[in-house]
Structure 1
Amino acid sequence: MENLPKISIIIPIYNEEKYIVKCLDSIVESDYDKNKMEILLVDGGSCDKTVEIIKEYQKQYSFFKLLNNPKKIVPVAMNIGIKEAKGEYIIRLDAHSSYPKDYFNKLIYWHKKLNADNVGGVVITEIKNKNKISNSIKNVLSDRLGVGSAFRSGVSEIKEVDTVPFGCYKREIFEKVGLYDERLVRNQDIELNKRIKNSDGKIYIIPEIKCTYFARENYKDLAKNNFNNGLWNILTAFYTNSLNSLSLRHFIPLIFVLTLIFTLLLSFINKIFLYLFLFISLSYLSIISFRSFQIKKNTNFFYQLSSFLILHFSYGIGSLMGIFKVLKEKYDKRK
């Protein structure tokens, strides 16, 4: 590609020693002109070997720059990187991922061709250590019944969307809509992209652009991650005083969990609610059981079913805890 623009790649990091080498190696192997790129690694105080590994890369590659993020969270890391960036384009990457050689060239090509404000690609879910549990997690995180998002389950054509993972932005967009909202531990990309859409911006997902995301590999980490996702859906709506940055799919696990709780409690008053509780529970189990049989690649039915249950319920319970947290904050303010 002629006349390549300068790009600034920002990677928020914290204790990434298991994944950072694959991420950095994929950047080093990129076919984008290294004289036209800078990599800003914004560290939230890692206490493992992450920083030590990065410093070894810095000895050989001058385009790697290490920045400090005292507040640890992702939106702060992104804002630190954006303020430091010298590039015409800002690209967010995730340290849990690796990227093909043509990843950056394709992002810039399609950004220009579509006259976009943000473009991104499809995330291919993978795991580093393969076993029956981790394979079941990989399967559920690649399935629409598990995650619901098109950028994880795949798209067949270029389409305009509300958000993309690991976006590529023209620098000026941050001057137009502002930086990342530093109140949001999660959902900061979704909220930023909603502001872009509200300013008549264009966001596109490009099916030929793909990266590999290395998922959690055990049920404990899967539950913790999705609990926080559910929690921050509610807190995002609360802190931004709007539901606009989220869609219905973000609240389906909460609706499901609340339905089960209320029908079970009401069953002590009237037996019809017990039948309703049983009907909903059995219907849900039937659906995820059928889907588990369909997608149980390199695992068994039990592990696949467990992954669905853990993902859905941890997400829904996280959202429920978010409601309690919001109510508590409002109560504390009134005291």
Structure 2
Amino acid sequence: MNNKLSIIITVYNLEKYIDKTLDSIISQMTEAYNLEILVINDGSTDNSADKIELYTKKYAYIKLINKINGGVCSARNLGIKKATGNYILFLDGDDIIANHFLENFFFKRLNIDLMIGSRIIKNKNTTQEIILTDNIYTVNQFLSDMLKQRINFWNIGGYLISREIILENNLEFNENLESAEDLEFFINVIKCVEQVKTTSNLFFYYLNLREDSISLTFSEKKINDQIIVCKDNINYLDTLELDNSFFVDKYIHIVNEAKNIRDLSRIQKIINDNKIVPRKIGIKRKIHLYLIYFLGVKNYLYLKRMKKEK
């Protein structure tokens, strides 16, 4: 049976960017490809919906689904419910699909539930290429390899997943999360598959350039979400007896991002409720965790600031 691909694109006030996202897919499309593009408009207040509507009139495989604003997780979950393909790719409305992505997908007979692709991440001042090898791993092998290389392997847009796996295991994005929802979802997916395929083929460009991008801003709620998801993943990796230093470093980094939060007592409570006791970590990480837990977040951040000013 020929594969059908559902690309689920979530949009909220992205009128300046959605054209490039859709054009990057349309430019690769041929009649031979069995594709649907589901654009979930999450209550945009700009002209995003009008722009997308023009595409739906021109291309039958593009569908616009409007909903009341409820966040990116609710938008992706709606996309899952509406999708009909046997594989799903999630995108944000300002991502760009790589050249030849569709060709690489449709000319391969996929018989695996999860495939991770290479990607390019563009920030304001840096560009990072994450090029994977062509390989098939067990879950433990995959996680071990990615953690050793310190790769953010869970980026939305960076993987293809079997819709059957999602439906059979009732997988969905956690609508209570404002941040780290992509990591939590990916780890839940990983727990449901036996093998992971990686490919050197480029999947997409992740453009982290917008001033209003939620990934560039921190709030008490986002710090809370990231700490909880990070702690859960550290505990999960401990059960697999894998090196969790990558996520311990992320945990410490999240604490450091609290420096711009006005009420640190609330951050302290979040930390107190989500302490981690990693199985194996180096002395430097132990010192950081000791300072955070026993001096408190406020004093820890003060020491960090004093050290930086010296």
Q: TM-score, normalised by structure 1?
A: 0.62
Residues 120, 206 of structure 2: 8 Å contact kept: yes
Partner of residue 227 from structure 2, selected from 234, 239, 263: 234
**Deviation sequence 1:151-197 (CA, Å, 0-9, x none):** x5433454643444322111210123222133333333322332333
SS of 1:41's partner is: strand
Partner of residue 209 from structure 2, selected from 203, 206, 216: 216
Note if 1:249 corresponds to 2:241. Answer: no
Give % identity. 23
1:1-335 matches, cutoff 5 A: 4-31=2-29, 33=31, 36-107=34-105, 112=110, 115-126=111-122, 134=124, 136=125, 138-139=126-127, 142=128, 153-158=130-135, 160=137, 161-162=142-143, 163-165=153-155, 166=157, 167-180=159-172, 181-217=174-210, 223-224=216-217, 230-236=223-229, 243-244=235-236, 247-255=244-252, 313-314=256-257, 324-325=269-270
**Deviation sequence 1:55-112 (CA, Å, 0-9, x none):** 1111211211111343532221121111111212222122221113421342455671
Residues 217 and 44 (structure 1 numbering): CA distance in 2 closer, same or farther, change over 3 Å?
closer
Residues 196, 202 of structure 1: 8 Å contact kept: no
SS of 2:236's partner is: coil
Looking at structure 2, the residues matched to 228 and 221 of structure 1 have their Cα atoms a distance apart, in angstroms, of 12
Shift of 1:15: 0.9
Question: Match of 1:148?
Answer: none
Residues 220, 267 of structure 2: 8 Å contact kept: no
Q: Which has the higher strand share?
A: 2
SS of 1:93's partner is: strand
- Equivalent pairs counted in the alignment come to 250
Residues 45, 69 of structure 1: 8 Å contact kept: yes
Question: Match of 1:147?
Answer: none
Looking at structure 2, the residues matched to 84 and 200 of structure 1 have their Cα atoms a distance apart, in angstroms, of 23
Looking at structure 2, the residues matched to 104 and 186 of structure 1 have their Cα atoms a distance apart, in angstroms, of 29
Residues 53 and 191 (structure 1 numbering): CA distance in 2 closer, same or farther, change over 3 Å?
same
**Which range moves more in the overlay, 189-198 or 247-256?**
247-256
Residues 116, 204 of structure 1: 8 Å contact kept: yes
Mind listing any 5+ residue stretches in structure 1 that lack a counterpart?
128-133, 143-151, 259-312, 330-335
Residues 222 and 76 (structure 1 numbering): CA distance in 2 closer, same or farther, change over 3 Å?
closer
| One-letter amino acid of the structure 2 residue matched with residue 314 of structure 1 | E
Looking at structure 1, the residues matched to 106 and 162 of structure 2 have their Cα atoms a distance apart, in angstroms, of 9
Shift of 1:118: 1.4
Residues 224, 314 of structure 1: 8 Å contact kept: no
Q: Which has the higher helix share?
A: 1
Looking at structure 1, the residues matched to 226 and 257 of structure 2 have their Cα atoms a distance apart, in angstroms, of 13
Looking at structure 1, the residues matched to 154 and 199 of structure 2 have their Cα atoms a distance apart, in angstroms, of 9
Looking at structure 2, the residues matched to 316 and 197 of structure 1 have their Cα atoms a distance apart, in angstroms, of 33
SS of 2:46's partner is: coil
SS of 1:244's partner is: helix
Q: TM-score, normalised by structure 2?
A: 0.66
Q: CA RMSD in A?
A: 3.7
